[in-house]
Every structure is written in C-alpha cells, then in structure tokens.
Amino acid sequence: MNRIKEQAAKLWQLLIDPETFGAYRSVVMTTWSILRETGVLLWLVVCLVLVVGEWGSKTAIAIGQGMRGWMDRISSTEQLAPETGKALLEAGKSTVSFTLNQAKSQLGIVVSEPVQPKVTVSEPAPIQPKVALTTLED
C-alpha cells in the first residue's frame, strides 16, 4: 500500500509540474496549427479543382462548338438540336460563373468581368426537297 501511495504522489507531482503543462500546451498548439494549415490546403485544392474543371469545361465547349459548326455545315436542315444546345450551354455557364469566380479569388487569381451571353435568333434554314432519280431502263 505504501508503494501505491508513493507512485501516486510521484505521478501527481509530474502532472502539476509547470514543465509538464508547458509541454502539453506546446503539443496542443502545434496540433491546432497543423489542423488549421491542413484545412487551408484542402480548401485551396478544392478551389484548384474548380478552376481546372472550368478550364476543362471551356475546352470541351470549344470542341463541342467546333463539332456543332461542322455538323451544321453538313446538314443545316434541322436547327432544333443546335439551338437547344446553345441555350443549355448559356444557362450552364451563367449558373457556374459565380462559384468559379469565388474559387479564383480564393486562389488569388484575378477575376475577370463576367461575359454576357450573346443571344441571337436565326431564321431556320430552308428545307431542300429531296428528288429521287429514276432511270428509264426496265
């Protein structure tokens, strides 16, 4: 029993020692700094993913517009799909613009003024009648 009391007294002295308090305080402060800096790094990575996503989106849009122009040159009789695609594209751009500008500002990238979508109304292309060629040979 005496040995238990001695050990308890030794532990208590160690716990209330100012040096012990300083060591634990230092550990807690360092851990908090590590967690805070990790959180900032994760936030910046999320912002970077958003900005890279925007770049990929713009690249995909440019490719899509090139493909659409090519398809329009091949067959301009059906205008519904390209016009619908254009309208959906403009709506998507405007909804994502705010989030991307916020991500850029968090990364310290200069945010440009948002581009207003260009709305154009075009007349549908005239439908060319298809003529079937037949031969007189029987």
b or e along 57-87 (b: 16 or more beta carbons within 10 Å of the residue's beta carbon)? eeeeeeeeeeeeeeeeeeeeeeeeebeeebe
Cα 133 to Cα 92: distance, rounded to the nearest angstrom: 46
pLDDT of residue 8: 94
Which two three-digit tokens encode residue 69? 């122009």
Residue 100, Cβ neighbours under 10 Å: how many?
20
The position carrying tokens 């208590």 is 12
**138 residues of the chain, pLDDT tens digit each:** 889 999 999 999 988 888 988 999 999 999 999 999 999 999 999 999 999 999 999 999 989 988 888 777 766 556 666 677 777 787 777 778 877 887 888 888 887 765 555 555 555 555 555 555 555 554
Cα 7 to Cα 10: distance, rounded to the nearest angstrom: 5
Cα 61 to Cα 110: distance, rounded to the nearest angstrom: 22
Q: Which alpha helices (H) appear in 17-134, and where do they start and end?
A: 18-74, 80-107
